[in-house]
Structure 1
Amino acid sequence: MKEHTNKRFEDELNELKNKILAMGGLVEKATRRSINSLVKHDAKRAHKVIERDHAINALEVEIDEMTRTMLALRQPAASDLRLIMTTIKVVTDLERMGDLAEGIAEYMLQTEEHPVIQISSLESLADHVLQQVNDALDAFARRDLVEALACIEKDKKIDAEFKSMQREYLTYMMEDPRQITAGLLSTNIARNLERIGDHAVNIAEMVIYMIKGHDIRHVDHETAAAIVSGRLNEGV
């Protein structure tokens, strides 16, 4: 980030960035705790995820207020404006990720009567999604284009993994109707994880916009990489 003649504004930008990273840390913790509650059959842990979602929502409100005030009073331009616009988008994705983690915890409470199918598959998907979330937040913190692109690229594997799990659960339900409730719960948990990964991709795409000024949200991954590297002009 460039140096500012206005030290107070620079401090505000750093505080804004730190709040986003703190919110991201809470989302990561909520996601990990919700999956651990499932693996360990720990209802108490699931309830903690649900109870602590308010902390994520509170940070969203704080960050929204900060960005509105900075836009009104500081009238930022160029890279500072892109940082604030990125923050506005990222905070929305993080709040939705927190809701999805809370949803997993709520599903977990239903699995006491209907144990999930192939829990190891859900655990593997969660590991990949959490790594994707971590990559997106690291890319934001370090202004790292390479890590942002890596996060986006990982989404292919996660999507393929989720589709494979959907087919697997459907097979179980077709072969044994008694597994329908468990199969639906397992599918919903997997879908929440896959959507958390999608929001991580959104964050990575906004990091690229923040750094380069390129909006790559509606192009494929290969084209995005070409635009970022300068091998392809945006709009070609």
Structure 2
Amino acid sequence: MTGAVWAADELPLRELPGIEDRDYWIPGEVNAEGKLEALQEVVGSAAVPFSGSQDGPIQIALIYPSADVSDFWARNYLAMTRRLDELGIQYETTEFASRQIEHSLQSTYASQVEQDADLYDYVIFGPSELATQADNISKLAGNDGFTTYVWAFHTPLKYLENQPDAWFDFSSAAGALTMCDYMLSRLGNDVTMALNRGIPGITDNQRSGDFKACVEEKGNWTTVYEHYGEYQREGGF
């Protein structure tokens, strides 16, 4: 969700098929026409240095599962800070790291940051799992002391009392369909598979669920076993 900040009672901006079956909105329902493309054009172009002045560095709190096996979070953090450097914006970051499965630790961090609102200008929250952290997202978004962004999800939950200022992510669903086509081209039809899934919730429903549905429908694959490995190395055994 980009551009203007919409109140919950102003959403969705449009209705797409299946909306009544979801407890969240998909990007096409909450992005104003042309906003996403405009954002992609800007962030995909060379940085234009900031020409204004700052009284001091902006303060950014990051609550995210960066202490995990995946380098996804580290790469995103580096991309963000390098871009700020290119823009010539002074900043300081405070990181609140957890593992992907440490939901309660993230809750503790969210409460701590919310109580220390005067210390931060921006809070970037990468939820361990969207529904699990819904109350914390709403709590942070309801604090006027800072601007709240949700990182790694772009499917706003319909039932949040307070919507954050922006959601940003890549599309897990699009990735699942791309992987589906790739695996069908590599392995063909009538394959028997076991599926090591992630953490129960919307992200895994899109990544694993959409992949599974795609290969079963397009390639007549059969799933004989599946379990949730919770994105942990040990979960693969």
What TM-score do you get using the length of structure 2 for normalisation?
Answer: 0.25
Higher strand share: 2
Give the structure, 1 or 2, with the largest relative contact order (CA under 8 Å, sep 6 or more).
Answer: 1
Higher helix share: 1
Task: Give TM-score scaled by structure 1 length.
Answer: 0.25
